[in-house]
Structure 1
Amino acid sequence: MVTEDKDETLVVLTKPISLEGDSDVYQAPNLVRRILSLFKNVRPGSDLTNFQAIQLPPLFNIPKSHLQCYGESVYAVCEDLLHKCNSAENSQERFISVVAWSISLTRPTIFGCAPYNPVLGETHHVSKGSLNVLLEQVSHHPPVSALHATDEKENIEMIWCHNPVPKFYGIKVEAEVHGRKQLKLLNHGETYVMNSPSLLIKFLPPGLDWVGNVKIHCQETSLEAELCYSTNSFLGHKGAHSIKGRIYQSSSMKTLYEVKGHWNSIVTVKDTNNGKERVIYNAKEVISGLKTPTVKDPQGVLPSESAAVWSAVSEGIQSKNWDKAKEVKKAVEEKQRELVKDRNSRGQTWVPKHFNLSYTKEGGWDCSPIHTWVPPAPIVVPL
């Protein structure tokens, strides 16, 4: 844990969740029973997005916000996969590198613990080298998070829009992640558009994994990928953390490469022309031994920064002072309700500071950044 104090504003930063997990996170006794008790008044099939009865006590929180977790999937890496995407010698090799990078965004999670739900207008701004990452919670009901990341050295841009929709199915919760991710390799004039897998939380037997179909498309090269994330069946058939799919030319639908492996270990591609197989992703090399961000410029940290908004709650969780954590978490949530009440009384509509938010014809949310480049952040990841 890193704690910074400036002008009585506390900033608490914690280690990114890595492949090794986080042994410091408190695991409550009788965990499954405690979790199921939260859903005792929820009907199977219910959308939990705006279900007010589900309010996680700090006992079930990890000491960071969802915004921080989204950001970590971009900046918390031990291998520069973005440089590989940019420097590959041809369009097919760049596409394969983008597939590997997209898999790296799939991160381990901790059963029984969840990040804080970001408050409206919450931000997370972090730099790693020349990569600058900025996130903002652009909507609270429904929850929509926006991400903009730029690297002027590599001439790369990322734009994401995340809208998680969790649903309860009796013995499991499946959180579909609506919205799209864009990766732009500006030197090559290529834009890669992709969606996200869903997070599956199983209570019996207890466990979690990423599942569902992911599609990656580059209009400029007509290359596409279809990836299927799957897990163990209810009967226990092996398949946890697995990925299987293909890379193909959309114009001819011809399969160029077959993809297989596990997102938490090794993923390979096999060339269908010559049968040669090679490793494109090694999770141990990318998401192990991740470094905790530090505050480089205390005066530059915004009051809306995730690590400041939730600092007192994170301190309570880290020290296992659950009464304190519960009290300060309630204070954060009450403050937000008062701000909403005040805006409503004035007839004001809240407007995001860093993004334009729109609702698409396809029935989903889309975000576009207001600024061309993300500035360097006051919080940095050590190289």
Structure 2
Amino acid sequence: MKALKLLIPMEARKMPKQRLSGGAGGRRCAISSWTNDRDSYWKMMHKYIGSDVTSLVTLPVIIFEPMTMLQKMAELMEYCELLDKADECEDPYMRLVYASTWAVSVYFAYQRPWKPFNSILGETYEMVNHQGITFLAEQVSHHPPMGAAHCENEHFTYDISSKLKTKFLGNSVEIYPIGRTRVTLKKSGVMLELVPPPTKGNNLIFGRTWVDTLGEMVMTNLTTGDKVVLYFQPCGWFGAGRYEVDGYVYSAAEEPKIMMTGKWNQSMSCQPCDQEGDPLPGTELKEIWRVAPTPQNDKYQYTYFAHKINSFDTAPKKLLASDSRLRPDRYALEKGDMSKSGSEKSRLEEQQRAEKRTREAKGEQFTPRWFNMTNEIAPTPWGDLDVYEYNGKYAEHRAGIDSSSVAGETDVTSIEFNPWQYSSSSSQ
């Protein structure tokens, strides 16, 4: 019933449950009740088919994982050493192999069927102490929900403006990653742009929920015109083809240079090829990446890196009060207290609505703290996107804290979550 609750409207969840009697008659009653409920849910949900259900349906905590959308964005950095290798690589085509493999690597984590918490407007997420990177994300818009992120180390900078679009299809939902992702490699100065494939959640109402990624991923070197096109094979009957990824690195003249193959839940390899796309004689497949070991029997199917994302060990000194780790609903769910998580989630959502009313009464617009909205509109295969850019203020903020002699004296676990622009909203 966990997966069933994902798309049940409030009116359906208020329906009284039927009492079941014991014995064989009880089993018949249970089957009859389940069938009646199933028919009722279908009747109520059919009107949402084809719609973006994210904004139409209230979601219960039971289908959530203890992570927010901003933290989910940070999961792409688990194997960021692949970008380091891309920056150090002199071969322009192998450079794309490493960078595109980095983009593929996150899908092992993205196959989890749990839903992350929608981020509160003004919420942030900071991460340090991982491969030398500094990662910052901020929720820059509530309607539509949008996040922006910036990440940097000595080898690369990463910038993304992101929002999701969903399409409910009955027992499944398609998720379209409307966003602009750009990576600049510092040594060569080249800029890479990524267009990821869509994802599909299956068996949302009936059956075991599972996630598949299918279609094309394209990474383009905007400096040279070279590109990678990788095809994510959709899952066929009895799981045939699931996880498989194949494609080529192409020159600016659209000639195949390197073939790539693997599985997004396991590993990726590459091999030089001729103009027909066939492997060059005397060459062998070279493994580029392999998924790291994962915890056994983890409740949320988390990787070790996903646990690090929730840990204060990857938090900087004097953590921002708007940080996702500090959310009481997320933290309560992490501790297994679903009742408190649900009540805190409702309280935060009401505070967000209260702040919106205050802002509208003042005739003001929300202004992100760490990102600026540009005049640029980026086209994507699934719709246009407003582009936000990192404004550099966070680096100044962090430098000031790191130079302070009292920077390490604050107990981050004692900080109250506060993303609110108006101080009155935090107490309502």
Deviation digits for residues 13-45 of structure 1 (CA, Å, limit 9, x no counterpart): xxxxxxxxxxxxxxxxx2333335357444211
Query: How far is the alpha carbon of 1:298 from its aligned partner?
Result: 7.9
Percent of aligned pairs sharing the same letter:
21
Q: Distance in 2 between matches of 1:361 and 1:198?
A: 17
**Change beyond 3 A, Cα 1:285–1:61:** closer
Q: Which residue of 2 aligns with 1:99?
A: 100
Q: Which residue of 1 aligns with 2:342?
A: 326
Say whether 1:280 aligns with 2:296: no
In the TM superposition, 1:1-383 aligns within 5 A as 30-38=1-9, 40-41=44-45, 42-51=47-56, 54-74=57-77, 76-77=78-79, 80-109=81-110, 112-127=113-128, 128-151=130-153, 153-154=154-155, 156-203=156-203, 206-233=209-236, 235-236=237-238, 238-250=240-252, 252-273=253-274, 274-275=280-281, 276=283, 277-284=285-292, 289-290=304-305, 292=308, 293-295=311-313, 300-308=318-326, 310=327, 312-358=328-374, 360=377, 362=379, 363-371=384-392, 374=395, 375=398
- Given the two structures, how large is their TM-score scaled by the length of structure 1? 0.81
Higher strand share: 1
Q: Secondary structure at 2:340's aligned position in 1?
A: helix
**Change beyond 3 A, Cα 1:220–1:288:** same
Q: Distance in 2 between matches of 1:243 and 1:92?
A: 18
**Change beyond 3 A, Cα 1:86–1:134:** same
Q: Distance in 2 between matches of 1:217 and 1:226?
A: 9
Query: How far is the alpha carbon of 1:253 from its aligned partner?
Result: 1.3
Judge conservation of contact 2:174–2:199 (CA < 8 Å) in 1: yes
Deviation digits for residues 238-293 of structure 1 (CA, Å, limit 9, x no counterpart): 0112212111012x211112222111102122311315322222123799643623
Q: Which residue of 1 aligns with 2:21?
A: none
- Given the two structures, how large is their TM-score scaled by the length of structure 2? 0.73
Amino acid aligned to 2:288: I
Judge conservation of contact 2:162–2:178 (CA < 8 Å) in 1: yes
Q: Would you say how many aligned residue pairs link Structure 1 and Structure 2?
A: 340
Give 1 or 2 for the bigger CA radius of gyration.
2
Q: Give 5+ residue unaligned stretches, structure 1.
A: 1-29
Q: Which residue of 2 aligns with 1:18?
A: none
Judge conservation of contact 1:31–1:112 (CA < 8 Å) in 2: no
Aligned-CA RMSD value: 2.6
**Change beyond 3 A, Cα 1:187–1:373:** farther
**Change beyond 3 A, Cα 1:372–1:187:** farther
Q: Distance in 1 between matches of 2:131 and 2:378?
A: 38
Amino acid aligned to 1:227: L
Indicate the structure whose relative CO is greater, using CA pairs within 8 Å and at least 6 residues apart: 1
Q: Give 5+ residue unaligned stretches, structure 2.
A: 10-40, 275-279, 295-301, 409-428
Query: How far is the alpha carbon of 1:50 from its aligned partner?
Result: 2.6
Amino acid aligned to 1:31: K
Q: Secondary structure at 1:348's aligned position in 2?
A: coil
Q: Distance in 2 between matches of 1:197 and 1:301?
A: 34
Q: Secondary structure at 1:193's aligned position in 2?
A: strand
Query: How far is the alpha carbon of 1:132 from its aligned partner?
Result: 0.4
**Change beyond 3 A, Cα 1:37–1:85:** same
Amino acid aligned to 2:70: L
Q: Distance in 1 between matches of 2:315 and 2:338?
A: 31
Q: Distance in 2 between matches of 1:161 and 1:215?
A: 17
Q: Distance in 2 between matches of 1:331 and 1:145?
A: 22
Amino acid aligned to 1:121: G
**Change beyond 3 A, Cα 1:248–1:297:** closer
Amino acid aligned to 2:137: L
Deviation digits for residues 311-346 of structure 1 (CA, Å, limit 9, x no counterpart): x21343234332211111111100000000000011
Amino acid aligned to 1:32: A
Q: Secondary structure at 1:108's aligned position in 2?
A: helix
